Amino acid sequence: MSSKFNRRNFLKAAGTSTLGLGALSPAFSFNILSSYPLKEKYRLAVIGVNSRGSQHIQALAKIPNVEIAYICDVDSRALENGISLALKSGSPKPPVGLKDFRKALEDKSLDAVTIAMPDHWHTPAALLAMQAGKHVYIEKPGSHNPAEAELLTEATQKYGKVVQMGNQRRSWPRVQEAMKELHSGAIGRVYYARAWYTNTRKSIGYGKTAPVPEWLDFELWQGPAPRSEFKDNLIHYNWHWFWHWGTGEIVNNGVHFLDLARWGLQVDYPTKCYSSGGRYHFQDDWQTPDTQIASYDFGDGKSILWEGRSCNARDINEMSSGVSFHGENGTLELLNNSYKIFDNSNKLVKSAEPTSNTVVDQRGAGFDMDFDHFTNFINAIDHGESLISPYPEIKKSVLLCHLGNISYRTGRSLEINSQTGRIENDAEAMKLWGRTYQAGWEPKL
């Protein structure tokens, strides 16, 4: 998705052209009367740069009309590394480094933020940003629990800001092409999707209470989460496996593939959800399942199955992660930025190879494949281009993951309202719909 043709260039072309607006092709039929001001540069803050945030920096630095104004992180080492990476990636001047991202939000000239913080911070940080008048690019899942997913959706409507989620596969060319194949009937009526993710994560051991490192502001890291003592096996990645801060593998990586499954099947919320599994591979502090199956039934005769294996990386369909779609006339396997179509005799009828020679590690983000997704976000701000992953739509995929966790934690099947995604007839399960917050940190509209 090119950033070369934007509203600014359009207006220049329109001013010198003898063609009327009615002669524009549908490809350029965007709303030139965008409610957002036209600017030469959009100033952004990147919040959280230890993992995905570093890839945010590399992608944003390539977009001509973007200035990375701030790097924000509670880890002083990450601040230094983030500023250095911005310069190496092409930023003309060093961004300002801030431990507390809320100070960046006070800058009225700041247009947007990108959020790559731990899950428990996603919704609270996004709300603060929108309340300060900023647009938001938020990493998956955007919420720690279903109540936050609902709150964030309400906030996008209340504040009228552009909010894009970082499930960047929706911007990958072969993924978009595969969806067109499915929806045009390449395998007939599609009724079942299987999504999976595998890895060989190691044991996190048993953490010991330890002094907070001098480079870390642990108080700010905890933020909205109720206070807990610092342990030496928590930061910076293992928080994913603790319910207090994280959401497990199904939300960490499953959201990418369940989102593609839902998109391909053209479904919204399920009628039933059941999930089982456990922490099977190691005995340690890890609380979420390392092995998990989640199934979803939809009211129009369609279903999705998710399989996650965090500690056993045996491939499915020759890929560590992916989605396969099954229909009346065959199967489409969506693998990486490529796909294959088979008929019901297992004959390969079409194979679409990746559009780039760059190898994309499915266990990571593939930063080189992020550029189009970030450019779409900027273009939505600049000239009203339609978002590829607007949070109110992607929330439906996020809720699939949260519902899988609630079913796993309660040990039973859940009945779901197919119009709202909410659990029905189960008060105990609904207790897991939200969470308790540290006093004074409760997220609010």
Averaged over successive runs of 10 residues, the pLDDT of the chain (445 residues) comes to 42 34 30 52 96 93 96 97 96 96 98 98 98 98 97 96 96 94 98 98 98 98 98 96 98 97 98 98 98 96 98 94 97 92 96 65 50 95 95 96 98 97 98 97 95
Residue type, 10: F
- Whole-number Å distance between alpha carbons of 290 and 310: 5
| Of residues 212, 53, 198, 66, the one with CA closest to residue 122 | 53
Q: Which domains are present in the chain?
A: 28-169 (3.40.50.720), 173-364+392-430 (3.30.360.10)
429 touches 423 (CB < 8 A):
yes
- Whole-number Å distance between alpha carbons of 152 and 355: 34
> Which pLDDT value is given to residue 356?
56
Could you count the other beta carbons within 10 Å of the beta carbon of residue 364? 11
> Which pLDDT value is given to residue 286?
98
> Which pLDDT value is given to residue 200?
97
> Which pLDDT value is given to residue 403?
98
Using the CB atoms, write b or e for 257-293: b if 16+ within 10 Å: bbbbbbbbbebbbbbbbbbbbebebeebbbebbbbbb
- Whole-number Å distance between alpha carbons of 242 and 286: 6
User: What DSSP character marks residue 355?
Assistant: S
182 touches 190 (CB < 8 A):
yes
State the residue for tokens 């490529």.
Answer: 338
> Which pLDDT value is given to residue 354?
80
The answer for 349, left when phi > 0, alpha when psi is -120 to 50, beta otherwise, is: alpha
194 touches 307 (CB < 8 A):
yes
- Whole-number Å distance between alpha carbons of 83 and 89: 10
> Which pLDDT value is given to residue 37?
54
Q: How many CA atoms lie within 13 A of 341 on its CB side?
A: 18
- Whole-number Å distance between alpha carbons of 132 and 110: 10
Residue type, 230: F
> Which pLDDT value is given to residue 3?
41
Question: The whole model's pTM is what?
Answer: 0.89
